[in-house]
Amino acid sequence: MDSKKLIDSIRKIPDYPKPGILFYDITTMIGNKEVFCELIQSLAERYKNREIDFIAGIESRGFIFGSALAYTLGVGFVPIRKKGKLPFTTVSEKYSLEYGFDEVEIHIDAFGDKKNARVVLIDDLIATGGTAQAGVKLIQTLGAQCVEAVFILHLCELGGKAKLQELCDVHCVLDI
Positions annotated as catalytic residues are: 61, 98
* Cα end-to-end distance, the chain, whole Å: 16
What value, to the nearest 5°, has the Cα angle with vertex 21 and ends 15 and 26?
90
Burial classification of residue 33, based on how many CB atoms lie within 10 Å of its CB (0-12 exposed, 13-18 middle, 19 or more buried): exposed
Look at residues 172, 128, 129 and name the one whose alpha carbon lies nearest to residue 151.
172
- Per DSSP, the three-state class of 139 is helix
What value, to the nearest 5°, has the Cα angle with vertex 73 and ends 105 and 125?
50
